[in-house]
Amino acid sequence: MRGRPHPDHLCGKRCNDDTTGGPLRHRHMISMAPGRCGRGPLSRKVEDYLEAIFRVAREKGYARTSDVAKELSVSPSSVVEMFQKLGHMGLVTYRRYEGVTLTPEGRSIAEVIVYRHETLKGFLSLIGVPERIAEEDACFMEHELHSETIERVRELVECLERSPAFKTEFEAFIKTREFERDRSGRR
Ligand code: MN
């Protein structure tokens, strides 16, 4: 199994959310481990960029503007703007015309997001959510959930994957429910 990022990378602080004006559990849960908490929580957008850069760079070693723009379905000029911002934050090294590489700090944050993404996608796939929806929903939830929840989900998936009976039983259960819904729909 891959090494897990330290769960303390993730905190579930409460804050006043600018968009709703109300107190919310912080939507942007990445922060540095205790003792390294020099940085406040990051925005979802920053997290998405770090994740995309990580995915692109995993294949090529570095991430070009055009590849990240494609990965996130945004314009190259927004990517350049964000690359500069991430550079100022010390999360990437930006070279004009070449693209970016993650700094060790940027990389450790990206690894947490990717870990969250894979955990949640694994869970959604396990319960039979179609691939495209699992991908989209994982990308939404990865920013939102407490690290405690992510860990329990991880353990649940690991545990259920060891039980072949579960998959058979759950699939049969879903079929029964679909059958019942179809029947009551026809009445
Ligand atoms: Mn994602």
Tens of pLDDT, residues 135-177: 999 999 999 899 999 999 999 999 999 998 998 999 999 999 9
Distance between Cα 139 and ligand 1 center (Å): 4
What is the model's pLDDT at position 40? 75
Q: Which fold has domain 110-186?
A: Diphtheria Toxin Repressor; domain 2 (1.10.60)
What is the model's pLDDT at position 13? 39
Structure tokens at 183: 């029947």
Sole residue written with tokens 């590489």: 101
Cross-strand bridge partners of residue 102: 92
Sole residue written with tokens 């199994």: 1
144-to-29, 63, 140, 150, 160 alpha-carbon distances in Å = 7, 26, 7, 10, 24
Distance between Cα 179 and ligand 1 center (Å): 34
120-to-75, 134, 142, 146 alpha-carbon distances in Å = 28, 8, 7, 12
In terms of C-beta density within 10 A (0-12 exposed, 13-18 middle, 19 or more buried), how is residue 180 classed?
Answer: exposed
Global confidence as pTM: 0.74
Secondary element (H or E) of residue 37: none
What is the model's pLDDT at position 38? 55
Domain boundaries, the chain: 110-186
What is the model's pLDDT at position 20? 36
What is the model's pLDDT at position 96? 74
Distance between Cα 183 and ligand 1 center (Å): 38
Distance between Cα 21 and ligand 1 center (Å): 26
Distance between Cα 105 and ligand 1 center (Å): 18
Residues of the chain with pLDDT under 50: 1-37
Distance between Cα 96 and ligand 1 center (Å): 26
Distance between Cα 15 and ligand 1 center (Å): 23
What is the model's pLDDT at position 21? 34
The dihedrals phi and psi of 61, each to the nearest 5 degrees, come to 90, -30
